[in-house]
Amino acid sequence: MLRLKINGREHVIEQTLDESTPLLWVLRDQLGLVGTKFGCGGGFCGACTVHLNGAPTRSCQLRAVDMVGLEITTIEGLAGADGKLHPLQQAWIDNDVPQCGYCQAGQLMSAAALLRETPQPSDADIDAAMSGNLCRCGTYTRVRKAIHAAAANGRRRT
Amino acid sequence: MNARIHGGDLGVAALMDQAEGRVTAMPVSRREFLTVSALAGGGLLLTLGTRASAQAPPTGGAPPPGGPPRAAQILAPNAFIRIEPDGSIRILSARPDVGQGIKTSSAMTIAEELDADWSRVTVEQSPVDAAVYGSQNVGGSRSTPASWDPLRRCGASARALLVAAAAQGWGVPESECRTAASLVTHVPTGRKLGYGELATRAAALPLPDPASLKLKERSEYRIIGTRVASVDNRRIVTGAPLYAMDVRLPNLRYATLLRAPALRATPVSGNYEAVKRLPGVRDVFTIEGAGSGGGEAITAVAVIADSTWAAFSARQALKVLWDATKGSTDSWSASSKRARELAKSRGPQELRKAGDVDAAFAAAAKTVEAFYSYPFLSHATLEPQVTTAWMHDGGIEMWAPAQTVDAARPWIAQLLGLPLEKVTVHLPRIGGGFGRRLMYDFMTEAALVARRVDGPVKLVWSREDDLQYDYYRVGGFHALKGAVDAQGRLTAWQNHFISFTADGRGPASGGNMEMAEFPTAALPNVHLSQTLLPLSTRTGPWRAPRSNGLSFPSQCFLHELAVAAGRDHVEFMLEQLAALPAAGQGMNPARAAAVIRLAAEKSGWGKPLARGRGRGLAFYLSHAGYFAEVAEVSVDAQRKLSVHRVTVAGDIGLVVNPLGAEQQVQGSVIDGLSAMLGQQITMEAGAVQQTNFGDYPLLRIGSSPAIDVHFVNSDMAPTGVGEPALPPLAPAVCNAIFAATGVRVRELPLSLAGYSA
């Protein structure tokens, strides 16, 4: 049995899992949190990015058994509990960032971690923070634009 | 099964003809069919279909439950409009979205002619049923041109019904009524009624006479031509389950396949019993290969488990002895070596001969010879191939990222010996296509696996599977020779194209020559020949099939000749275009010249550049889209390439959704750059050597250039934009590298010559 704290809630996995099972597959197959995507399984593409105590991490490279006691946040937990979208999610919609959309959960999780650390990022900050997230459709131009828009939105509110 | 897919050009010729038509109110086609009916509980349902011929009714299928009446013959509606009494409008999209934005742009087209309030419109994916929805394929940048006229007439018919209902209610002539934003207004009195209030009454009226249907003039458009964001965005950014990879069902099992390293080698024996006993593993068995072309499943060993990870892990433990008798022996290095030898002479198959190239070479002021090559490429959709299949109630139910369900569904029925109506296919949103989802090999595999599993089973490809068992963009080699005269005019062009054949007869998919490729169509002296090398590796359409490879040698070589002639590249290209007849030959030279001029103007062509920088230009016509691109680059001493800016000028006729069109262009530029920098698939002893994004790199955000997109303001009918912006990118960048450094790149990817991004 495995207890994981995900999106502020404790999840209990009753099934006996092989110790090698990555967090990604526990999220997707055991818990049905399929917003976190499988893209490469090798830590190259970032589609599986989640937050671990706030830090962006590739869930395909983490063993689920090592995650006990840590705060895990997935794309399903990025919006507020009241359903209010994270400013980045809103900026993603406003700037029409997605094309096929498959990589975007990972992009958003990396961007959210960036804005928490660096509320007003430069293009170089964005390129550095987002370099681990591949987009096959080539939405990078709008990823940059939407992060700047969300940052500007944050400036206006403070 | 796959003649259509392996036909090569995906109906581009027909598309070209259509693309040259102007946007006008055309008479309704006899094959089109509209029905109107009332919704239970009030409201209106309008169905657009195509009437199948009486001789050849579409196969199988029960009438749509509660659906529109079936007139003389079966109907194949391909769009639905539902107007509810509360004024909400639901548009059903029959074709799946792979990121090309068709769900959004087709709904915009209907809503435009309907004069709908866009904020009250929702778009949903329709179920799959050829008998009800007609073709549900997407691909070849054809969705937009194929549905442009029918969708507009569908929206206009619904609007006419609503106007008629309002006019009758008020007892006024229809001519006194206007529509806007889901309201009918009686102009003289200012009375207004909403579409929701009118829908039930409108549903009882006869359909308008198609001949009297008036479509909007372009100046009247309120939705088309505006920037509309994708209708699925909210679901995407919240991580809602949208994709085939996300399908979850009670008692779902997970499957993965171990395929032979050398394509089509077959398993002789293995430690199947031992692997079956591993934790979480349910079964291990072999599936016999079936199907051909795009639906081919190769013989493989299947592992069925309780989770994806258990299946992947157990596969690692499999030890299988393979019989290589039927296996591929393809070798990229051997083919490359052979091509370089063959390049010394003309090819055995003469494809086109005009004038006398030898005489022109002898008389030339200058001749140039060059050998170009480009590699095999994988599609590398970020969502790997995946299908969930479930045999139940005497049939099969499937969830698949399928772009060619029209072909896949009857094939699965044939494979499993089922009547067509017992094959149910769901079309989730697709996590990237680029041509890969035109194939349905993964559906064949899933069906074969599901036959042996009690309950639903999800077949998941790993990234390694995805890169190693793709239908690749075929590589190719070009031995070119050209001549310019003393006045600097292009006089002769010779190309020996060394490509591949899978069947020993014709070129492999995507490996055929374009006979009238720019600039050869108007040249007096042309010699095109071909050699086909044998190939077992599977090939298929990759974004802008054929053009994606051919554009690189031809448009770089054209630049080489301009340089040899001492001419400006823009001027040199416009001179070739001026020699073309105004119409015919598949290319409209005025449209080509316009995009070249626009790209030159917007990029500052001819103006001074910062030290070390160079500009390069290329033009290409593919999938009815005219695109010219200018790249501005610099290269440092370690051959680190910086692409600072790409200026794109395109003509795709009327642009339905400028936001969506811009995205496709930006994506094509990044895709083109990504591919040319470091991507190549190599086979040795029949096995693909690349494994994951570590050795098959995609461009990262820091290397993506600024991209300026400009569309020619055109009144031509709209054509697709998923593909035609890709082909000019690689030659534009290579021409820019030459301009910046004097080094000519003739082999892709650039990483082979030590370039990095």
* Domain-wise residue ranges, chain A: 2-77, 87-157
B493 and B541 inside one domain? yes
Once rounded to an integer, what is the mean pLDDT over residues B728-736? 98
Residue B105 is predicted with a pLDDT of 86
Which of A12-26, B56-70, B390-404 is predicted with the least confidence, judged by mean pLDDT? B56-70
Last residue of a domain, one of B440, B460, B480: B460
Within a domain: B195: yes
Contact check, Cβ <8 Å, A34/B239: yes
Q: CA–CA separation, B498 vs B339, rounded Å?
A: 6
Q: What is the CA radius of gyration of chain B?
A: 28
Please list every residue in chain B whose beta carbon sits closer than 8 Å to the beta carbon of residue A103. Answer: 382
Q: How many residues are given for chain B?
A: 757
Distance (Å, whole) CA B535 – CA B539: 9
Taking CB atoms and an 8 Å limit, are A29 and B254 in contact across chains? Answer: yes
Q: Does residue B396 sit in the same domain as residue B358?
A: no
Mean pLDDT of B645-657: 95
Per-chain mean pLDDT for chain B? 89
Residue A33: its chain B contacts at CB < 8 A?
A: 239
Is B230 within a domain? no
Question: Is the confidence at residue B55, as pLDDT, over 70?
Answer: no
C-alpha B121, offset from chain centre: 26
CB-based contacts of B745, cutoff 8 Å, min separation 6:
B556, B734, B737, B738, B753, B755
CATH topology agreement for domains A2-77 and A87-157: no
In single-letter form, the type of residue at position B100 comes to Q
pLDDT of residue B33: 67
- Look at residue B499 and tell me whether its pLDDT is greater than 80: yes
Confidence of residue B648 (pLDDT cuts 50, 70, 90): very high
B226 located within any domain: no
Question: B646: number of CA atoms within 13 Å, CB side?
Answer: 33
**CA pair distance B474, B375, nearest whole angstrom:** 7
> What confidence tens digit (pLDDT) does each residue in B238-290 have?
999 999 999 999 999 999 999 999 999 999 999 999 999 999 999 999 999 99
Å from B360 to nearest chain A CA?
44
Mean pLDDT, residues B499-503 taken together: 95
The CATH number of whichever domain residue B56 belongs to comes to 3.30.365.10
Give the pLDDT confidence of B118-137 residue by residue, as tens digits. 999 998 877 777 666 667 77
**B129 falls within a domain:** yes
Domain A2-77 class in CATH: alpha beta
Q: Which chain A residues have a beta carbon less than 8 Å from that of B706?
A: 141
Residue B206 per-residue DSSP state: P
- CA end-to-end distance (rounded Å), chain A: 44
- H or E stretch covering B367: strand B366-374
The complex scores an ipTM of 0.98
Q: Which residue of A has its CA nearest to B695?
A: A44
Q: Are residues B77 and B198 in the same domain?
A: yes
Residues B164 and B253 in one domain: no
How many domains would you assign to chain B? 3
Pair (B355, B401) in one structural domain: no
Q: Are residues B131 and B196 in the same domain?
A: yes
From chain B, pick out residues whose CB is under 8 angstroms from the CB of A134: 382, 693, 698, 700
Whether residues B382 and A45 touch (CB distance < 8 A) is answered with: yes
The CB density around residue B112, as the number of other CB atoms within 10 Å, is: 25
Give the closest residue to B746 by CA, choosing from B541, B554, B489.
B554
- What residue has token string 């082909």? B727
Q: Does residue B725 share a domain with residue B600?
A: yes
Tell me: do B613 and B724 sit in the same domain: yes
Chain B: give the shortest CA distance to residue A156, in Å. Answer: 23
Q: Which of A24, A58, A99 to mutate to test the interface with B (most CBs of B within 10 A)?
A: A99
CA distance B291 to B443: 11
Q: Are residues B490 and B543 in the same domain?
A: yes
Tokens representing B448? 């074969």
> What would the DSSP string read from start to end of A103-140?
THHHHHHHHHHHHHH-SS--HHHHHHHTTT---TT--H
Does the residue B8 lie in any domain? Answer: no
- Does B268 lie in the same domain as B130? no
Q: Both B429 and B298 in a single domain?
A: yes
Interface test with B, best of A7, A23, A40, A134 (most B CBs within 10 A): A40
Q: Are residues B639 and B744 in the same domain?
A: yes
**Domain enclosing residue B573, as ranges:** 332-377+472-753
Residue ending a domain, choose from B410, B428, B460: B460
CB contact under 8 A, A135 and B663: no
Contact B693 A40 (CB under 8 A): yes
A38–B245 C-beta distance less than 8 A: yes
B148 domain residue, yes or no: yes
Q: Are B382 and B437 in contact (CB under 8 A)?
A: no
What per-residue confidence (pLDDT) applies to B9? 36
List chain B residues with CB under 8 Å of A98: 99, 230, 232-233, 236-237
CB-CB neighbors (< 8 A) of B382 in chain A: 37, 39, 45, 47, 100, 102-103, 134-136
Amino acid at B108: M
Q: How far apart are CA B713 and CA B624, in angstroms?
A: 16
Work out the average pLDDT over B518-522.
Answer: 89
pLDDT tens-place string over residues B440-490? 999 999 999 999 999 999 999 999 999 999 999 999 999 999 999 999 999
B352 burial level (CB within 10 Å; 0-12, 13-18, 19+): middle
Q: Do A22 and B307 touch (CB under 8 A)?
A: no
Asked if the structure places residue B467 within a domain, the reply is no
**CATH fold label, A87-157:** DNA polymerase; domain 1 (1.10.150)
Q: Which residues contact B571 (CB under 8 A, 6 or more apart)?
A: none
Domain for residue B427, yes or no?
Answer: yes
Phi, psi of B444 (to 5 degrees): -60, -50
pLDDT tens digits, B308-322 = 999 999 999 999 999
- If one compares B536 and B104, the residue with the highest pLDDT of the two is B536
